[in-house]
Chain A
Amino acid sequence: MENTQKTIPVNKVNKNSRLTKGDVIFEIVNCIFLGIISAIILYPLIYVISASISDPMSVTSGKMILWPVDLTLDNYLEVFKNDNIMRGYRNSLIIMFGGTSLNIVMTVLAAFPMTRKDLWGRNVIMKLMTFCMFFGGGLIPTYLMVGKTLGLMNNWLALILPGAISVYNMIIMRTFFMTSIPYELHEAADIDGCSPFMTLIKIILPLSGPILAVMALYYGVGHWNSYFSALLYINKEPLQPLQLYLRKVLTANNTQSLMEMGADEVARAAMRAETIKYSVIVVSSIPMLIIYPFVQKFFVKGVMIGAVKG
C-alpha cells in the first residue's frame, strides 16, 4: 500500500535519532489503544463464529464466552437442509452476478465518454449526472416508476436496473481513467485511425484492471447486502434473495420459520433456533468472508482514488 511506503522515510529518521522516554511511552500507549479497539471490533465476530460451531446448550447457557465449546456441525447441517436459505442463496448469487455485470458495463459507458476532451456536450451531461448524486425523486416516485410504469414487480430487473450506475463510482472510474492513463494515448490512437470504441476496448480497458476489480467488488458487495429494494418489489417467495429471508429469521422477532427445523421440544427448539441464527449469519456472510482477504487492498485503492477527487 502507498501509505506504508511513504511512511518509511519518517521511520528511518526516527531510528537515527535517539528515542526519548516520552516517545517510548507514546508508542506503548498508542499500541495499547489500538489493541483495545481491535479487541472490541473482533469480539462479536469471533463470538458469532464460535457460537455457530458450538453446542446450542452451551451457547444459550453462557458457558461459551469466546471460544467454541462442545464442537458440533449440527447447526450448519440444519442451515444447509433448509430449502428457503439455499434458494435465497441461489437467487442472490444470480442477482449479484447479473447486476454487477450490468453495473460495470454501464459505468464504463458513462465514464469513458466523460474523459474525452473533444466531446461536445460533455460538461452538461456531467452536471446532469452529478446533480443526481445530491437530489433524487424519493421513495414513492421511484416506486411508482419502477413498480407501476415499468411494471417490474416480482422481476429481478427491478433490483438491478434502478441502481445500474452509481454516480459516485462513475466519478471514481472517470478519475482513474483521467489520472492513470495519459491522454496522449487517446490522441495517438485517434491519429492512427482508431475509433473511440476500439480505443476503449484495446487501450483503456486493458489498462484499467485494478479499477474494474474495485468497481466489481463495490457493486457486488452492494448487491449481496441489499434488502430494501427486494422488500419493495419482490413479494413472491421463490424469487426473494437471501437477505429478505434473513430478515424473517434474524430480525422479525419470530422464530417460527426456524422452529420447523428445530428439535421437538419447544424450549430446546428455541435454544437451537437461537444458535442456528449464528450459523445463518456466518453462511450468509461467506461470500464476503471469502473475497475479503483477497480484495481488501483493492478496496482501499478505490477509496483512495475517490479521495483524490475529494
Chain B
Amino acid sequence: MSAATPAVTRKRKTLKEFIISKRIHRNWQLYLMLIPVVAFFAIFCYGPMYGITLAFKDYKVLKGIMNSPWCDPWFKYFQQFFESPYFSRVLGNTVYLSLLSLVLGFPMPILLALSLNEVKSIKYKKFVQNVTYAPHFLSILVLVGIIKSFTNSDYGIVNLIIKRMGGEPYNWMQKASLFRGLYVGSGIWQNVGWDSIIYIAALAGIDPALHEAAMIDGANRVQRVWHINIPGIMPTMVILLILNSGHIMNVGFEKVFLMQNDLNLSVSDVISTYSYRIGLESAQYSLSTAISLFNSLVNCFLLVIVNTISRKVSETSLW
C-alpha cells in the first residue's frame, strides 16, 4: 500500500504516516484483541524461555533468576549431567521407549484405517469406529489405574486367569521386564482408533476414479489398497512421521511418571522423569533446567534432520 503512493521526497515517514499507510488506525480493535494474547505468550511461553538461562547460572532462591551469578564454566551443569551415572541409563531408556512406541504404534492406526476403508457395511464401520475411539477419552490416571487393577497379583483379572490355567500369579507392574510392553501396549490400546481418524480422512480424499480405472484394468482389492490407497495417504504418513520424530525425546512423561515404581526404575527412568526428580524433589533447579534444555535441543535437532531428509526423499515437509 505504501508503494502505491509515489514518494516525491525520499524523507523518512513520520509515525503518523506509517500508521496510516499500514492501516493500523483502522485495525486498532484487532490490536486490542491481541493484547491479552501477546501477554499470554510473553508470560507463559517466552517468560519461561528466558528462565532457561538458569541452566547456565547458579540459582539462588533469594536472588531470583535474574540476579543469580553465572556458573563458572558455563557448561557446568551440562557436564554434571553428562558425567552422572544416570546419564546413559535415562538417555537409553528414553530413546528405547519412544522408538518402541513409534515402531509398534505408528503402523497400527494406518492398518486400522486401511481396513476400515474397505468395510462395505456402514453400520459395522460406525460400530468399529465408535469402539476404537472410546479409550482416547479416558484420563491417563484411569488408564494406569486399570492396568494396575487388572494386573494386581491377588485380585486382578489377568492373574485370576493365569491362576485358573495353573500358572503362578505375579504383580505385572513390579516386573521391570514387562514395563515397556505394558507402556507401549496400553498406548496403542488407547490411541489406535483416534490416530486412525486422520488417515480415514486422507483415504476419503482419494479420487474414486483411480479405483474405477484400476478395476477396469482388473486389479483386485489387495492390489488396489497397495497401489492406490497406500500411496494416497503417503504424504499424511510422512508428515506425521516427521512430527512424531520431533517428539522422540519426549516420552509421554505423565504416563511414565504414573507407571514408575522402585522396582521398574531401571527401565522406566527417562530424561523427563529424571529431570522432575532432580528439579522438584531435590530442588536442583539449574541442573534440572540444563537437562530439559538438552532434551529440547535434541528434539529440535531431530525434527530438522528428519524434515530435511524427508524433503529430499519424498518432497513432503513441514517447511
Mask, A133-170, CB within 8 Å of B = 1, is 01111111111111001100000000001101100000
Beyond A42-B131, A106-B40, whether A17 also contacts B215 by CB under 8 A is: yes
A37 surroundings in chain B (CB, below 8 A): 112, 128, 132, 192
Complex-state Cα separation, A11 to B141, whole angstroms: 42
Mask, B143-181, CB within 8 Å of A = 1, is 011101110101101001101100000000000000000
Interface residue total, chain A, C-beta cutoff 8 A: 105
Of the candidates A30, A125, A143, the one whose C-beta lies within 8 Å of that of B34 is A125
Complex-state Cα separation, A121 to B193, whole angstroms: 40
Judge whether B139 and A224 touch: CB under 8 Å: yes
Chain B nearest CB, measured from A184 CB (Å): 18
Q: Which of A7, A62, A118 has the most CB of B within 10 A?
A: A7
Judge whether B204 and A3 touch: CB under 8 Å: yes
B189 surroundings in chain A (CB, below 8 A): 40-41, 44
Judge whether A277 and B145 touch: CB under 8 Å: yes
Q: How many A-B residue pairs have CB under 8 A?
A: 291
Closest to A275 in B: B155
A232 within 8 A of B: yes
B198 within 8 A of A: yes
Stretch from B4-12, B43-51, B82-90, B96-104 at the A interface: B43-51
A26 within 8 A of B: yes
Complex-state Cα separation, A280 to B134, whole angstroms: 18
Interface residues of A in 238-285 (CB under 8 A from B): 243, 246-247, 249-251, 253, 270-271, 274, 277-278, 280-281, 284-285
Of the candidates B40, B215, B292, the one whose C-beta lies within 8 Å of that of A138 is B292
A191 within 8 A of B: no
A132 within 8 A of B: yes
Judge whether B293 and A138 touch: CB under 8 Å: yes
Closest to A310 in B: B239
Complex-state Cα separation, A227 to B22, whole angstroms: 45
Interface residues of A in 19-72 (CB under 8 A from B): 20, 22-23, 26-27, 30-31, 33-34, 37-38, 40-42, 44-45, 47-48, 59-62, 65
Judge whether A113 and B30 touch: CB under 8 Å: yes
Chain B nearest CB, measured from A121 CB (Å): 8
Of the candidates B41, B51, B292, the one whose C-beta lies within 8 Å of that of A145 is B51
Of the candidates A26, A150, A165, A281, the one whose C-beta lies within 8 Å of that of B145 is A281
Complex-state Cα separation, A112 to B32, whole angstroms: 12
B-side interface mostly: helix
A45 surroundings in chain B (CB, below 8 A): 134-135
B15 within 8 A of A: no
B155 surroundings in chain A (CB, below 8 A): 59-60, 270-271, 274
Judge whether A221 and B112 touch: CB under 8 Å: no
Of the candidates A9, A41, A227, the one whose C-beta lies within 8 Å of that of B134 is A41
Judge whether B44 and A274 touch: CB under 8 Å: no
Complex-state Cα separation, A196 to B27, whole angstroms: 7
Beyond A44-B150, A134-B246, whether A62 also contacts B65 by CB under 8 A is: no
Mask, A221-233, CB within 8 Å of B = 1, is 1001111100010
Beyond A247-B141, A281-B146, whether A137 also contacts B36 by CB under 8 A is: no
Closest to A250 in B: B145
Judge whether A307 and B204 touch: CB under 8 Å: no
Closest to A45 in B: B134
B137 surroundings in chain A (CB, below 8 A): 221, 225, 285, 288-289, 292
B211 surroundings in chain A (CB, below 8 A): 10, 13
B187 within 8 A of A: no
A202 within 8 A of B: no
B122 within 8 A of A: yes
Mask, A115-131, CB within 8 Å of B = 1, is 01011100001001100
A80 within 8 A of B: no
B221 surroundings in chain A (CB, below 8 A): 22-23, 26-27
Chain B nearest CB, measured from A22 CB (Å): 5
Judge whether A38 and B132 touch: CB under 8 Å: yes
Judge whether B157 and A62 touch: CB under 8 Å: yes
Beyond A106-B40, A125-B34, A307-B201, whether A136 also contacts B157 by CB under 8 A is: no
Chain A nearest CB, measured from B280 CB (Å): 7
Complex-state Cα separation, A196 to B61, whole angstroms: 46
Judge whether A304 and B23 touch: CB under 8 Å: no
Judge whether B139 and A227 touch: CB under 8 Å: yes
Judge whether A303 and B254 touch: CB under 8 Å: no
Judge whether A10 and B208 touch: CB under 8 Å: yes
Interface residues of B in 29-78 (CB under 8 A from A): 29-34, 36-38, 40-41, 43-52, 54, 65
Judge whether A4 and B289 touch: CB under 8 Å: no
Judge whether A140 and B149 touch: CB under 8 Å: no
Chain A nearest CB, measured from B318 CB (Å): 8
Mask, B203-216, CB within 8 Å of A = 1, is 11100100110010
Q: Which of A34, A59, A132 has the most CB of B within 10 A?
A: A34
Sample of 18 further A-B pairs with CB below 8 A, known A165-B41, A197-B29 = A3-B203, A10-B208, A27-B120, A34-B124, A37-B132, A41-B192, A112-B30, A112-B33, A120-B23, A128-B46, A134-B303, A138-B295, A139-B276, A145-B48, A225-B137, A284-B142, A296-B133, A306-B198
The 7 closest A-B pairs by CB, nearest first: A137-B48, A141-B51, A250-B145, A62-B160, A138-B292, A3-B204, A225-B139
CB-defined A-B contacts under 8 Å, sample of 13: A13-B215, A22-B220, A37-B112, A38-B132, A106-B40, A136-B296, A139-B275, A140-B54, A141-B289, A145-B44, A227-B254, A228-B254, A243-B141
